[in-house]
Amino acid sequence: MPALRDPFLKAGLRWSDAASGTRFRQQHLAKTFAGYQVAPLEKFPYNYYDVLDPEIDLATWTVTVGGMVQRAGEYRLAQIQSLPKQVQNTRHVCIEGWEVVGNFGGARISDFLRLVGADPKARFVEVECADDYYESIDMESALHPQLLLCYEVYGKPLNRGHGAPLRLQMPTKLG
């Protein structure tokens, strides 16, 4: 019965958000690992949310930015790669139920948000993928220094199965 269920769901979500907010600290870093602790690339699973390869043209791929930003538009992978590169060995915990320690390289999403002139009053960053998967990330989490727009794993460009040309890597959240 929606009339009874919906208020309980909304209250539960408010409580969950409040509890999460008390535990999350932007400068609290996720654990990083030594190179010998990183799983081999062959052991890093593909995410099978919808389709393994949405058949995008990697040569012409762009990310479309809109909303509360000063510089909306299309951004090419090279523009993201021109931002300071971060490399980290962190645990990736997938919403599908698996986890692996991997080696990730890319630009901080906070640097990209500065590039596009994101409004600091925005509450969320919404990401929609080529395979129609989507996610909303609260702005405080998006600005975490370990959240990457990852364009390589294990020192090599992402392949299609791992989300080429770009994927979010969020060691502080489910990914």
In a domain, 7, yes or no: no
The reported pLDDT for the residue numbered 49 is 52
Which residue from 50, 81, 84 is spatially nearest to 63, judged by alpha carbons?
A: 81
CA–CA gap between residue 133 and residue 35 (Å, rounded): 31
In a domain, 75, yes or no: yes
CA–CA gap between residue 133 and residue 125 (Å, rounded): 14
List residues bridging with 134 in a β-sheet: 128
In a domain, 17, yes or no: no
Total domains, the chain = 1
Which residue from 81, 95, 78 is spatially nearest to 135, judged by alpha carbons?
A: 95
User: How many C-beta atoms surround the C-beta of residue 126 within 10 A?
Assistant: 11
Residue bearing the bigger pLDDT, 121 or 7: 121
- Written as one letter, the residue type at 121 is K
pTM above threshold 0.95? no
The reported pLDDT for the residue numbered 23 is 54
Question: Residue 104's domain spans which residues?
Answer: 29-169
The answer on pLDDT for 1 being more than 70 is no
Whose tokens are 């990730």? That residue is 104
In a domain, 16, yes or no: no
The reported pLDDT for the residue numbered 10 is 58
Q: What is the pLDDT of residues 21-72, one digit of tens each?
A: 555 455 688 899 999 999 998 888 876 555 555 677 888 989 999 999 999 9
The reported pLDDT for the residue numbered 161 is 78
